[in-house]
């Protein structure tokens, strides 16, 4: 499993996919937070807002990840199927679950790497605060945990989508749609008025509700448990798809 995990990391870092994903994420968030004026971004520019907070980052990042993480994960199994190397994976002395976990953790590692440079944003806001250090550090770190869990959830959804097809474009579109539905779809369904008294339950099924809770800096075990359940669900679904392929 470790060998496969390192192979996946190497394939990300020796191709343009990983660097483009990280570069696009940092470019978009950097432009919205520091360059483009608030009148054009809806109040995301930190300098214009005059508040020592990174809340704009945690509002923008999920929207960016909705596109970037599917781009990262689309090749996980789709490429293996198209090239026929998926059969070689099955001959290795590892289980289907270990194969899925190796690819999953490789994707999560890349997401984590993309977040590390944003710590410079935190340092900048910390220094620019009046007085210096006038930033809710506890709330900020809690928000980082929430964003990392959200990214990990999107990766799980992405590798599942990739296991459904041998076409990377289709895998990308499927992952993007599934991520959007899991993130915002339940909110729209609740707002439609069809759910009635079940509205709070329907909202709680979506990622956005739990991510918003974590973004306040409060680490609630219910939110953490939700993300681990979501990740486990899609990882096991991906494993099932691999096992199903062996039966055919």
- Residue 8: the pLDDT is 83
Each residue of 174-219: pLDDT tens digit? 999 999 999 999 888 888 777 777 888 888 999 999 998 888 777 8
More confident of the two residues 127 and 51: 127
Count of domains observed in the chain: 1
Is a pLDDT exceeding 60 seen at residue 248? Answer: no
Decide if 161 contacts 174 (C-beta within 8 A). yes
* Confidence at 247, pLDDT banded by 50, 70, 90: low
pTM, to two decimals: 0.91
Decide if 70 contacts 172 (C-beta within 8 A). yes
Nearest Cα to Cα of residue 66 among 185, 180, 173: 180
More confident of the two residues 15 and 143: 143
Q: Which domain holds residue 132?
A: 2-247
């Amino acid at each position: 499993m470790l060998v496969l995990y390192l192979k996946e990391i190497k394939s990300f870092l020796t191709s343009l996919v990983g660097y483009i994903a990280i570069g696009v994420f940092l470019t978009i968030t950097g432009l919205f937070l520091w360059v483009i004026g608030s009148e054009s971004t809806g109040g995301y520019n930190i300098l214009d807002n005059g508040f020592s907070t990174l809340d704009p980052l945690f509002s923008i990042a999920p929207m960016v990840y909705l596109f970037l993480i599917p781009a990262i994960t689309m090749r996980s199994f789709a490429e293996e199927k198209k090239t026929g190397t998926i059969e070689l994976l099955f001959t290795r002395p590892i289980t289907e679950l270990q194969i899925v976990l190796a690819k999953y953790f490789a994707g999560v590692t890349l997401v984590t790497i993309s977040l590390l440079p944003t710590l410079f944003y935190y340092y900048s806001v910390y220094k620019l605060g009046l007085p210096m250090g006038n930033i809710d550090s506890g709330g900020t770190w809690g928000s980082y945990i929430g964003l990392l869990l959200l990214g990990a959830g999107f990766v799980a959804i992405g590798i599942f989508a990739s296991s459904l097809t041998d076409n990377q474009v289709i895998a990308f579109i499927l992952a993007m749609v599934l991520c959007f539905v899991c993130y915002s779809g339940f909110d729209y369904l609740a707002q439609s008025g069809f759910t009635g008294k079940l509205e709070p339950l329907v909202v709680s099924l979506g990622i956005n509700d739990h991510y918003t809770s974590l973004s306040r800096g409060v680490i609630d075990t219910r939110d953490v448990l939700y993300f681990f359940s979501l990740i486990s669900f899609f990882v096991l679904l991906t494993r099932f798809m691999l096992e199903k392929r062996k039966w055919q």
